[in-house]
Amino acid sequence: MAIPKLYPKSTSNANVLPVTGTVADVTASLPFGIYAASTPFLSGASDQVAFTYKKLGGDVLDIELAPGNVYAAYEEAVLEYSYILNIHQSKNALSDLLGAPTGTFDQDGAITNELSGASASLAYPRFDYGFPRRVWDRTATEAALGGTLPIYSGSFKMVPNQQDYNLQTILSASSALTGTLPYAGQVQDKRVVIRKVFYRTPRSMWRFYGYYGGFSVVGNLRTYGQYADDSTFEIVPTWQNKLQAMAYEDALYTRISHYSYEIKNNNLRIFPQPDMTSPKRFWVQFSIENQYSPWEEGSGEPKSGIKGINNMNTLPFTNLPFENINAIGKQWIRRFALALTKEMLGQVRGKFATVPIPGERVTLNASELLSQAKAEQDALRDELKTTLDELTYVEMATKDATLQDSTAKVLQNIPQGIFVG
């Protein structure tokens, strides 16, 4: 096949990147127009044309791109920088912002109805340890160290020679009664969790000065069988006898009964089988499973914040204002925009692998441009992410601690000054 004869005019590309850009033309070429109202952004996008022209050899070879391609690449680079920075800040702040008010966002990611007042993108978070405190709240409840989960107290009469009692049935029945019980109407078909079983002696007397003993009674194992009439006897599982011996302070407040018990499916079995009428009543402390849904507000419960921040997606982060990006960020944006422009140029030149010219064919460098562009974009992302990973609040606190330790070691080897009067 004969090579067609081409005239010079037909080999000239109508779109050749000019030496400089024009600020007035930037806005019309932006795909999103997110930064169209920012004068510094428009100037930066215009300057990017001259930077691209020089870096891609426009003085020697034509660059088959329009200025609008460079403007679009510059906008994408700014958005990519904002995206990576916002993810970094999400790692820093999410745990302290859980449950805080969020906002609504438009198609560009801008906040349209912000409930929290000011955008969190540029805000320094107040560390309230909200997430750890919620973990602690339930942990403290289970460890009997506090917490906000309601713990109720109920009782039932002891029946001589009866060893087994169904606590679920007993507490459900008492909850159904009309009255002033704190848990009235709360149990229904919900399972109760028994946390403590105990009984009290009937008469009221301060045990420290009761006629059954004095100060020597409390904590004195030799006279441990003595007690005053207001003593509280906690019935504990057999395995807890050994543990309670390790928690000596409990003996100051609680007597260990000669009764023991086990619970299976909320069926209480008392050991040994009671054969007398004292104690007349056993007490239990219990909580109610699923009393509140994880998304409901319970009486005395901390606010769940179900309409607030619960993950990275609901953080009130918007695109970073261009004016708040410093010189470090703007240089990264220039380099990333150049890599995006290389990718565009590779796509354009990849339309044809070769271009015929009079008497010859010219092979275009589309594949090289595309591979370079991909590698440069990945390298720039990795560079920024690596730097930001070293600047998280946790990492900075760790480095500060290391610096303090190192300083202390240095000071240990410095002789103290001698006072001269």
Residues 42 and 88 grouped into a single domain: yes
pTM of the model: 0.65
Residue 213 lies in a domain: yes
The dihedral built from the CA positions of residue 326, 329, 335 and 336, taken in this order, carries a sign that is: negative
Domain extent at residue 220: 151-288
For the chain, the distance separating the N- and C-terminal CA atoms, rounded to the nearest angstrom, is 106
Residue 112 lies in a domain: no
Residues 229 and 352 grouped into a single domain: no
Could you read off the pLDDT of 41-58 as tens digits, one per residue? 999 999 999 999 999 999
- The enclosing H or E element of 356 equals strand 354-357
Q: Are residues 152 and 170 in contact, defined by beta-carbon separation less than 8 angstroms?
A: no
Residue 405 lies in a domain: no
The neighbour count for residue 231, using CB atoms within 10 Å, is 20
Could you read off the pLDDT of 94-110 as tens digits, one per residue? 888 877 778 788 888 88
The total number of structural domains that make up the chain:
2
Residues 359 and 281 grouped into a single domain: no
Could you read off the pLDDT of 105-160 as tens digits, one per residue? 888 888 777 554 456 666 777 777 767 777 777 788 777 777 778 889 999 998 88
Residues 171 and 258 grouped into a single domain: yes
Residues 161 and 244 grouped into a single domain: yes
Residue 73 lies in a domain: yes
Q: Are residues 112 and 105 in contact, defined by beta-carbon separation less than 8 angstroms?
A: yes
